[in-house]
Chain A
Amino acid sequence: MGKLDRSHIIEAGVWFLFFIVFFIASFEFNQPIEIYKFGATGWPRTILLLLLLVMFGNMAYAYYQGHALQQGRVGIADDEAEKTSYDRATFLRVVTALGVPFLYAISLKPVGFYAATPFFIAAIAFIFGEHKLKNILLVTLFIYMIIMIIFMVILNAPLPQGNTSPFYDFSAFMLRMNTKWQQLELW
């Protein structure tokens, strides 16, 4: 096995799975193009083939050199090369930190930006280390107001409004307030 370890095998497995999935999916659009000899699949399949070759190169390098940094590489920050091992509790906290923004993104369609954002700000501030309720509330209010002033009042940027009640109604209320504010013509 040389210097290969479990992480190298998993890494190669993920790339191989990627290759298989995309290669099989390429049959769905395997149609000829009259004006182009290589068709719609020529380019992606070539990239996939190169990816497979490079994956073997990566494995060969790992076999001989393990995790060692290749000589002469530039642009690698030290922290990117750090390996961190977690206990179970820390692992769960890291997963939560990664998962909450993703949940926020998914919630934007049904809940909308205006209603989901305050909860998101508070959740991120809490997960990232702020545990005083007063500070969380103040920061949530401050950031929410800043964002609303810049993007809703000044720039009139269209933001997701949600499509379920009562969130949609809340978005509509916010937009009505903004329209009334704009009609005051203070400037």
Chain B
Amino acid sequence: MLENFIAGSAALFGDPFTVAIFVFGVIGGMLFGAIPGVSMLTLAAILLPFTSDLEPAQGVMLFAVIYCTGTYGGAITAILFNIPGAPENAPTAFDGYPMTKQGRAGKAVGAAVLCSAIGGISSALVMMAATEPLAKWAIRNIGPPEIFALVFFGLAVASSVGGRTIWKGWLSVLLGLMVATIGQDPVGGIERYNFGFADLAAGIAFVPAILGFFAVSEIFVQAEKKVTGKYDAPPVGMSFPTILELWRYKIAVVRSILVGFFCGILPGIGATLAAFMGYGEAVRWSKDKKSFGKGNMEGVISSETANNAATGAAMIPLLALGLPGGALTAMMVAVFQMHDLEPGPLVFYNSPDLIWIVFAAMFYANLSILIIGVMETKTIMYLLKVPFQFLAPMILLLASIGSYIGRGLVLDVVVMFVAGILGFLLRRSGYSIPGIVLGIILGKIGEQNFAQGMQMVHYDLVTYFSRPICTLLILAGVLTLGFSIYQAFQGIKQKSPAS
């Protein structure tokens, strides 16, 4: 492994053009991740056509680097503006944004920098050491029933965070799942719910939906505060956390690495579910559950460690099985195909150079988060000082461009603003925006894997539940749900707006 890693590093740093692409990917991913309104996906969508002019290794490496640094960059907007740069940063906002409002933005961002780097580096190391054996294990043990079970468990966890009650949490998730059914059914390709709009046949793209529900709705919430005279610019706190402060959360970091890595290696799941489950587990094991959502640094640490730990792991199903774990890894498949390559087990034998350049680049990209992240973040934090009436049009414009560029459809911009208005109204009523978004993302994956799983076991539920991993995950989901419903009928919290 070490020899391959050194060879990959030498190939990466031996060619000035490859180094330039690496540096562009690192800075571009961080910037696009950290600018509210656009995300790493916007950058990736713009760059995709240009990768045909690059060497295959350079093209795939560029996207892998953007994936690592963009996942971290999205945490900055989640913390500073309550606008996650990507869905995997949504749980970061739960505690990161309250920390900003308390003048502790520096602490939250510092924790995100360090934990993103730790999660990413650990994941890159495990990926280098264990891609092949893990891929073999996944092929043997993980099938559609297990993936569906994990989706169910993930949605159960998502329903228990964000909404004012378990019912509103589930209504949010179910709304997201319904939105995901718009388009075509994943088995027979039959058009569903297009309501006469031809463009809807391709379904609701999740980038506009995410931007609408998170970025636009947040702008509307702040606009409402401006109009009603309740707007307070958050104080800018620049003090970063000390190593001693972060050392207290070592167990949360290790736990989140494990959760992130496990979610990452499962095809189709990716970093989003990892972040939600990392956050959910942090709450589950905490002695002070009530402090979550009110500025508990452990929430930021758990979510950011888990989502970056998933980035390395997500490369395993991509490279070993040819199955992308999310939108950006799906674009990587496109890069492979543009160069007449197919990701899959044969890549390890046919193009080992490519694999190790990508592995080395991901390792160094995560390392660079530590160095460049701190410098860049301090600059970006000054965005908080820009008056809202000047920042808002910029964010809305960037979000419009980000929505449009993916598919070149004006409908996507309309969908984004509709999602923004809907998100604004639902947030006021206590619904969970992350729940809706996770429903949209996991809906298609869940349906597809449920259908495949049922076909696999010939619709026999006994056979379905004879698979131990599947049963365990479904049971965990049911227990999570049951516990939340039990809590719903327990004593009410005294401090409520109506009581």
Residues in chain A within 8 A of chain B (CB atoms): 11, 15, 18, 22, 25-26, 29, 31, 33, 35-40, 43-44, 47-48, 50-51, 54-55, 57-58, 61, 64-84, 86, 90, 93-94, 97-98, 101-102, 104-106, 108-109, 113, 117, 120-121, 124-125, 127-130, 139, 143, 146-147, 151, 155, 157-160
Contact = CB atoms under 8 A, between A and B. Distances in A.
B206 interface: no
Binding site of A, secondary structure by majority: helix, strand, loop or mixed?
helix
Binding site of B, secondary structure by majority: helix, strand, loop or mixed?
helix
A40 B447 contact: no
Contacts of A57: 166-167, 170, 485, 488
Interface of B: 46, 82, 91, 94, 97-98, 160-171, 174-175, 177-178, 181, 185, 187-188, 190-193, 195, 216, 220-221, 223-228, 230, 279, 283, 289, 292-294, 387-390, 392-394, 396-398, 400-401, 404-405, 408, 410, 413-414, 416-418, 420-421, 424, 427-430, 432, 434, 447, 450-451, 454-455, 459, 484-485, 487-493, 495-499
B81 to A, nearest CB: 12
Contacts of A25: 193, 195
Contacts of A73: 160-161, 163-166, 169, 293
Nearest to A85: B228
B187 A143 contact: no
Given A36-B187, A73-B164, A76-B293, A65 B193 contact: no
Contacts of A43: 181, 185, 447, 450-451
17 contacts: A22-B193, A69-B165, A70-B493, A72-B487, A73-B165, A76-B164, A79-B225, A97-B220, A98-B223, A98-B421, A101-B417, A104-B417, A120-B397, A130-B389, A146-B394, A147-B397, A160-B410
Contacts of B283: 74
Closest 10 CB pairs of A and B: A67-B498, A33-B188, A58-B167, A75-B161, A68-B492, A75-B94, A40-B185, A128-B389, A124-B393, A70-B165
A179 to B, nearest CB: 17
A98 B414 contact: no
A7 B162 CA distance: 20
Nearest to B492: A68
A43 B221 CA distance: 34
Given A40-B187, A98-B424, 14 more contacts: A15-B171, A40-B192, A69-B495, A70-B492, A71-B487, A72-B484, A74-B160, A78-B294, A97-B224, A101-B417, A120-B393, A125-B390, A128-B223, A143-B394
Given A51-B178, A61-B165, A108 B227 contact: no
Given A73-B165, A75-B161, A97-B220, A102 B292 contact: no
Nearest to B178: A47
B220 A128 contact: no
Contacts of A121: 393, 397
A47 B176 CA distance: 10
A50 B175 CA distance: 11
Given A66-B498, A70-B166, A143 B454 contact: no
Contact of B454 (A38, A50, A64): A38
Contacts of A61: 165, 167, 488
Contacts of A22: 178, 193
B285 to A, nearest CB: 13
Contacts of B401: 113, 147, 151, 157, 159
A37 B457 CA distance: 12
Contacts of A50: 170, 174
A44 B187 CA distance: 13
B45 to A, nearest CB: 9
Contacts of B292: 74-75
A86 B223 CA distance: 14
A57 B170 CA distance: 10
Contact of B162 (A58, A75, A93, A160): A75
Contacts of B491: 71
A38 B450 CA distance: 11
Contact of A37 (B434, B459, B492, B497): B459
Given A72-B487, A75-B162, A157-B405, A44 B178 contact: yes
A98 B221 contact: no
Contacts of B416: 105
A15 B168 CA distance: 11
Contact of A102 (B94, B164, B417, B488): B417
B260 to A, nearest CB: 18
Given A157-B405, A160-B404, A36 B188 contact: yes
A11 B188 CA distance: 35
Given A11-B429, A124-B396, A77 B163 contact: no
Nearest to A147: B397
Nearest to A99: B421
Contacts of B392: 124-125, 128
A79 B167 CA distance: 20
B190 A36 contact: no
B171 A58 contact: yes
Nearest to A34: B188
Most buried by B among A101, A127, A158: A101
Nearest to A140: B393
B438 to A, nearest CB: 12
Contact of A38 (B227, B394, B451): B451
Contacts of B420: 98, 101
Contacts of B91: 75
Contacts of B487: 70-72
